[in-house]
């Protein structure tokens, strides 16, 4: 009998969660080389550059499409089966860049990858919410985000090193998902959702007839989308920015993005302790303030060191977003709709990532990449000040004081 509190089960969930980081950013250091490789394609230079950047962001669009469906599946048919199937398809679709020689065919593979990621993140996060409640849930959600960040450090650094040899090689990293699929079959236990007692904390779960808190969900989803529009300026645009700034190699770009995820992981690890002192709304100005300062530093960078400093500070804010929003959602919805609610936050998360290059691209020519980072940083800083001033109004708008 599989014990859901065993270290094998916990490690399996954490490894599965790390796949979401791999989905886009792992091949980010290869983008400049991919752009040069497809120079002979029939597309004009601007279209070709945009299509290559879609290698990073197209999975996000299909995660947006797939997440609500994944939420319905996990609520109706269970968590384990979807997680196992999704990890298998993840490895197949993610590795397509190893052997496909058409940019459009690679993009089709990235679309299938997005559907697989939707299944992985919704089922893995819902399992955490099923297995844990209260402070234990906050701690594990923080650990999940931290593990995703640390996975990003490993995968991005490895992706950068492989991209130095050939732009195709980072796509091979996605085959790691097949090992995780074996662990899912062996160590994941389908939760008994009719059991009202949580095995980890011994506390009663939320009543199943709790009304859906539309106000608080709208705030969570909206802010999550905005944060990700800003965040994805890093994996999508940073390799090009650093190439212009210091002639950075793919390995250096991968290490720079990995530094951001390393500091993100450190912040995520501290979330559970911070949550004992701060409510969900109080985290918001901290998140956007740190991101704003970091992006302003990146935008004004004249050296490699200054850019890295900005990435580190921005990473601290980014590390709090995921656990804060997922724990917040988990705490305000009933078990009956938990999968769909967490599917909604996954939709919001990746909608922002998909929209990021589409929103930023019109500003790159007139402002330059540095100007885009600086402008974004200023907007985030202003947003943080507004959230700090109007915290009580945001709490009232959320209409769920008990969850704060």
Q: Per the structure block, which two tokens stand in for 43? A: 């597309």
Q: How many angstroms separate the CA atoms of 277 and 274, rounded?
A: 5
| Sign, CA torsion 132/136/142/148 | negative
Is residue 195 scored above 70 in pLDDT? no
Place of tokens 């209260």: 134
Burial state string for 117-143 with b = 16 or more CB within 10 A and e = fewer than 16: bbbbbbbbbbbbbbbbbeebbbbbbbb
| Per-residue pLDDT tens digits for 364-396 | 889 998 999 999 999 999 999 999 998 888 777
Q: How many angstroms separate the CA atoms of 273 and 189, rounded?
A: 28
| Per-residue pLDDT tens digits for 305-324 | 899 999 999 999 999 998 99
| Per-residue pLDDT tens digits for 4-17 | 678 889 999 999 98
Domains and CATH numbers, the chain: 7-191+212-403 (1.20.1250.20)
DSSP-assigned letters across all residues of 37-81:
HGGGSSS-HHHHHHHHHHHHHHHHHHHHHHHHHHHHHHHHH-SHH
| Per-residue pLDDT tens digits for 52-75 | 878 877 888 898 899 999 989 988
Greatest mean pLDDT among 30-44, 239-253, 320-334 lies in 320-334
Q: Per the structure block, which two tokens stand in for 328? A: 């917040």
């Amino acid at each position: 009998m599989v014990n859901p509190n065993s270290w094998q089960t916990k490690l399996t969930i954490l490894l599965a969660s790390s796949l979401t980081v791999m989905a886009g950013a792992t091949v980010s250091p290869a983008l400049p080389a991919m752009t040069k490789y497809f120079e002979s394609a029939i597309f004009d230079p601007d279209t070709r550059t945009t299509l290559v950047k879609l290698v990073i962001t197209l999975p996000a669009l299909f995660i947006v499409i797939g997440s609500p469906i994944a939420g319905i599946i996990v609520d109706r048919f269970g968590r384990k089966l979807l997680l196992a199937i999704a990890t298998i398809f993840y490895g197949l679709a993610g590795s397509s860049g190893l052997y496909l020689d058409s940019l459009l065919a690679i993009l089709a593979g990235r679309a299938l990858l997005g559907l697989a990621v939707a299944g992985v993140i919704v089922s893995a996060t819902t399992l955490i919410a099923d297995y844990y409640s209260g402070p234990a849930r906050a701690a594990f959600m923080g650990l999940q985000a931290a593990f995703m960040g640390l996975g990003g450090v490993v995968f991005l650094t490895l992706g950068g090193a492989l991209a130095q040899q050939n732009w195709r090689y980072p796509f091979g990293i996605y085959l790691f998902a097949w090992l995780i699929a074996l662990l899912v079959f062996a160590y994941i236990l389908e939760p008994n959702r009719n059991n009202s007692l949580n095995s980890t904390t011994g506390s009663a779960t939320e009543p199943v007839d709790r009304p859906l808190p539309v106000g608080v969900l709208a705030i969570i989803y909206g802010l999550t989308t905005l944060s990700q529009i800003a965040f994805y300026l890093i994996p999508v645009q940073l390799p090009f920015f650093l190439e212009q700034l210091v002639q950075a190699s793919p390995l250096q770009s991968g290490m720079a993005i990995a530094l951001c995820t390393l500091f993100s992981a450190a912040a995520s690890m501290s979330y559970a302790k911070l949550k004992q002192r701060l409510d969900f709304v109080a985290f918001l100005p901290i998140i956007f303030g740190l991101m704003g300062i970091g992006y302003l530093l990146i935008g004004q960078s004249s050296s490699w060191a200054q850019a890295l400093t900005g990435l580190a500070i921005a990473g601290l804010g980014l590390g709090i977003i995921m656990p804060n929003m997922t724990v917040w959602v988990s705490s305000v919805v009933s078990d009956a709709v938990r999968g769909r609610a967490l599917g909604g936050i996954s939709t919001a998360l990746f909608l922002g990532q998909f929209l990021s290059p589409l929103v930023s691209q019109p500003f790159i020519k007139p402002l330059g990449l540095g100007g885009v980072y600086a402008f974004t940083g200023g907007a985030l800083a202003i947003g943080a000040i507004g959230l700090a001033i109007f915290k009580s109004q945001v709490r009232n708008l959320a209409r769920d004081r008990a969850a704060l």
